[in-house]
């Protein structure tokens, strides 16, 4: 297990519209959204003047920004432009990770940083209604995540919210004397509040997906919903299996959260048959998942840890069939120089400008919004994820004025909120506001 954690640590530090043939008339899955709204840029705001942007998130209802600040959560109310910091007692939330909002914007779930700091990780929830902090999986163990012989640690991580404040999470039972290491998906119901959740319910035994302790993990290079994402209809959990040896043997799996039945959807090697030009020979890894609003398609992004100019496509995957096609396709870019130099002003896929290093699916699943950046230009674009399909080019929502600073700022995850009138998106230390038309 120590070897797995160390290898994983090395990696952690490191749209065009869907085509009509792919988004068919299949109505077997109930749609959460029938037609995507038109998004119109309103304004943007730098967030480093408010507070620490690294773990800053926006609530799903788009009303507030929250960030951990040592032993408190700071809350910025967007309507009143006021900030209040609420104490978390002796719990240092600044070193936590995996901050994830409940759909009703009441709770924020998170855990100790297992993968970068080797902390023994419990699942925590902060209640913004009662201003209470609750450890849902307190096993009485603190400090490091490497047990002595005969000691079993319950390591809880990657929280994902579902309907009616159901909280899913992954658990590894860490014990030097147990092989293979138990690896499972669990859930809590917070219907009666976080103080009354009882014991978690086992959803699925996942040891068969990969025989290692941490087949699913979070990385700071993740985008969209990261390594696990629940479908909008609440039925299917998708997750990335990324081996700790950093091999390309990476797989997209799903599990039916009602039955616990799992199946493999596709592999990285299958995906990378598409969208990559002949000159690009850089190894790619899966970096994030998201869902279309009708729960039929997964969006999957790729990432190259080399940080050089490399083609990193984005894919759409039909969950039931595993059929895949590119959303961002670089196969027609003739050479690396063209990839680097292409401007982002045009309506076509523009090389490095459309490499997705920060992006998020809107709460209704109608768009993936992503940050464009190269050495001379920056902006925001969108990939429509639902019909009608009138174009196969990125939607350019906003370009920074030439005389304004537009460099990315530290922000470990992108988030989005929707109050019914406006969609607000946090990426790279900025908040972008779009009106829904």
Is residue 409 over pLDDT 50? yes
How many whole angstroms from its chain centre is CA 23?
Answer: 23
H helix or E strand, kind and range, residue 135? strand 132-135
Task: Show the domain range for 138.
Answer: 2-436
What is the arithmetic mean of pLDDT over 70-89? Answer: 98
Upper half-sphere CA count for residue 218 (Cβ side, 13 Å): 30
**For residue 9, what pLDDT is reported?**
37
CB atoms within 10 A of CB 340: 15
Number of domains, the chain = 1
Q: Residue 17: phi, psi to the nearest 5?
A: -70, 155
Q: Residue 117: phi, psi to the nearest 5?
A: -110, -5
pLDDT tens, 105-158? 999 999 998 877 777 899 999 999 999 999 999 987 766 656 666 667 889 999
Least Cα distance to 111 among 83, 139, 87 occurs for 139
Task: Identify the CATH number of the domain in which residue 382 sits.
Answer: 2.130.10.10
> Whole-model pTM?
0.89
Cis preceding linkage at 388, omega within 30: yes
Asked which of 80-94, 126-140, 235-249, 288-302 is least confident by mean pLDDT, the reply is 235-249
């Amino acid at each position: 297990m120590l070897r797995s954690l160390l290898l994983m640590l090395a990696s952690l530090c490191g749209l065009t519209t869907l085509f009509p043939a792919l988004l068919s008339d299949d109505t077997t899955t109930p749609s959460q959204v029938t037609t995507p709204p038109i998004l119109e840029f309103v304004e943007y705001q730098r967030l480093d003047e408010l507070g620490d942007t690294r773990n800053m998130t926006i609530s799903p209802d788009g009303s507030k920004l929250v960030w951990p600040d040592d032993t408190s959560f700071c809350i910025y109310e967007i309507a009143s432009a006021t900030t209040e910091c609420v104490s978390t007692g002796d719990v240092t939330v600044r070193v936590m990770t995996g901050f994830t909002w409940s759909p009703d914007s009441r709770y924020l779930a998170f855990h100790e940083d297992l993968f970068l700091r080797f902390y023994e990780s419990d699942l925590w929830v902060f209640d913004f209604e009662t201003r209470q902090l609750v450890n849902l999986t307190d096993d009485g163990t603190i400090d490091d995540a490497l047990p002595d012989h005969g000691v079993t640690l319950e390591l809880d991580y990657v929280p994902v919210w579902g309907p009616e404040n159901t909280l899913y999470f992954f658990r590894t039972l860490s014990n030097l004397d147990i092989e293979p290491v138990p690896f499972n998906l669990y859930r809590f119901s917070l219907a009666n509040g976080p103080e009354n959740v009882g014991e978690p319910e086992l959803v699925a035994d996942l040891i068969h997906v990969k025989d290692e302790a941490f087949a699913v993990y979070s990385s700071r290079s993740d985008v969209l919903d990261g390594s696990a994402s629940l479908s909008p209809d609440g039925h299917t959990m998708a997750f990335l299996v990324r081996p700790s040896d950093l091999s390309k043997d990476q797989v997209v799996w799903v599990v039916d959260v009602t039955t616990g039945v799992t199946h493999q959807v596709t592999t990285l090697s299958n995906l990378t048959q598409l969208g990559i030009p002949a000159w690009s020979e850089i190894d790619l890894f899966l970096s994030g998942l998201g869902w279309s609003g009708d729960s039929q398609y997964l969006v999957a992004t790729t990432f190259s840890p080399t940080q050089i100019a490399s083609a990193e496509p984005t894919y759409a995957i039909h969950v039931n069939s595993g059929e895949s096609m590119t959303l961002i396709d670089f196969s027609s870019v003739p050479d690396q120089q063209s990839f680097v130099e292409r401007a982002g002003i045009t309506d076509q896929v523009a090389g490095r400008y459309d490499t997705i290093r920060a992006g998020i699916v809107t709460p209704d699943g109608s768009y993936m919004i992503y940050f464009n950046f190269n050495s001379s230009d920056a902006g925001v674009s969108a990939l429509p994820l639902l019909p009608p399909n009138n174009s196969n080019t990125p939607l350019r929502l906003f370009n920074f004025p030439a005389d304004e600073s537009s460099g990315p700022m530290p922000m470990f995850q992108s988030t989005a909120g929707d109050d019914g009138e406006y969609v607000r998106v946090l990426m790279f230390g900025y908040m972008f506001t779009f009106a829904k038309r």
